[in-house]
Amino acid sequence: MPAPAATYERVVYKNPSEHCYMKVCLEFQDCGVGLIAAQFKRLLISAVKDLFGEVDAALPLDILHYEEKTLSAISRICSSGLVKLWSSLTLLGSYKGKKCAFQVIQVSPFLLALSGNSRELVLD
Amino acid sequence: MALLPSSLWDRVRSCPKSQDPWIPPQKTLGTRYTHLYLLCELVSDDSRCRLSLDDRVLSSLVRDTISRVHGTFGAAACSIGFAVRYLNAYTGIVLLRCRKEFYQLVWSALPFITYLENKGHRYPCFFNTLHVGGTIRTCQKFLIQYNRRQLLILLQNCTDEGEREAIQKSVTRSCLLEEEEESSEEAAEAME
């Protein structure tokens, strides 16, 4: 007896997650500059405001985790604003007259993915 | 049987109209840039505000507002094809031209204009967008109809007898012109 014809169902997954998580690190040219979490968030928002204006500076941006020693943070932004945030971080050049640059370490629509980074794997 | 080669036909059919104003829709055929014309009305309590309208003042005001609301990106994108095409200081009608890809940035920045500054005086005002058209001619047609309707509204609301007579004269004159226009259009169609 021939087997019944298999039915196929096509599922298209278009990234419906509403937030995108970014792990960024701020590096200064000279050492000895410290920022608290509020100043860091203000810097991110002012970068977006410079490039994309007040409308996009009001995008819901959150700093989920911040380390003052290494100046690295995990931030969350809605998915439509990811490109805007990333491009404005790329074009940010200075903070209070001191030269600095943002390094984006990891970006993912899932927060769990930021817990492990294969680039920082140390093989024994 | 396709008149165009199939590869070109696919490109024409799949021209996406993007919802996001930051991503311009992909251009497929033709190399000319298209513009859109925004017909706006300047509404203000102060009567001196409209008289102090100048195209340079207005142009710089709109550019500053776009730069505030949409940042460096918005200012650069909108200022390429931006121009003030028509300005009427008595009625406060303004016709702005902008590139089709970024017209939503210009349009959305207009409600953020709250005052007009001229020679140190600040007049509070706001912009009403009446019509968005592809050509100056369609905007003009709309403006003529809009002005006729406004005349009738003014006729209803006016209190002074002298004003009433003057407005009635303008209304009858515009009706005669409308009939003339229609008959000339019909004659032109009949000839063809």
Domain ranges of chain B: 35-134
| Helices and strands in chain B, H and E counts | 6, 5
For B13-57, how does the pLDDT look when each residue is reduced to its tens digit (9 = 90+)? 444 555 566 666 666 667 788 899 999 999 888 888 888 888 888
The Cα B71–Cα B102 span in angstroms is 14
> Do the chains contact at B68 and A54, CB–CB below 8 Å?
yes
Inside any domain, residue A12: no
In this predicted structure, what is the pLDDT of residue A89? 95
The Cα B50–Cα B92 span in angstroms is 6
Average pLDDT of the segment spanning A20-33: 89
Inside any domain, residue A120: no
> Do the chains contact at B71 and A52, CB–CB below 8 Å?
yes
Q: Which of B20, B70, B72 lies nearest to residue A55, judging by beta carbons?
A: B70
User: Does residue B112 or residue B172 have the better pLDDT?
Assistant: B112
CATH code of residue A45: 3.30.70.3250
Average pLDDT of the segment spanning A50-78: 93
> Do the chains contact at A51 and B20, CB–CB below 8 Å?
no
In this predicted structure, what is the pLDDT of residue B29? 67
> Do the chains contact at A53 and B20, CB–CB below 8 Å?
no
Q: Is the pLDDT at B177 greater than 70, yes or no? A: yes
In this predicted structure, what is the pLDDT of residue B3? 53
Q: Which domain holds residue A99?
A: 30-109
CA distance A35 to chain B (A): 25
> Do the chains contact at B71 and A51, CB–CB below 8 Å?
yes
Fold exhibited by the domain B35-134: Alpha-Beta Plaits (3.30.70)
Mutate to test the interface with A, among B65, B72, B102 (most CBs of A within 10 A): B72
CA B95 centroid distance within chain: 4
Closest CA to B182 of B122, B134, B132, B141: B141
Q: Is the pLDDT at A1 greater than 70, yes or no? A: no
In this predicted structure, what is the pLDDT of residue B7? 55
Q: Which residue has the tokens 């096509």?
A: A10
User: Does residue A111 or residue B4 have the better pLDDT?
Assistant: A111
pLDDT bracket for residue B2 (50, 70, 90): very low
Provide the number of structural domains found in chain A.
1
Q: Does A50 touch chain B (CB under 8 A)?
A: yes
Q: Does A52 touch chain B (CB under 8 A)?
A: yes
The Cα A111–Cα A105 span in angstroms is 14
For B88-122, how does the pLDDT look when each residue is reduced to its tens digit (9 = 90+)? 988 889 999 999 999 999 999 999 999 888 877 78
Angle at A106 between CA A103 and CA A110, to 5 degrees: 145
Strand order in the sheet with A61-67: A61-67, A72-78, A19-28, A98-108, A94-95
User: A14-23, B19-28, B93-102, B152-161: which range is least confident on average?
Assistant: B19-28
Inside any domain, residue A92: yes
Q: Does A86 touch chain B (CB under 8 A)?
A: no
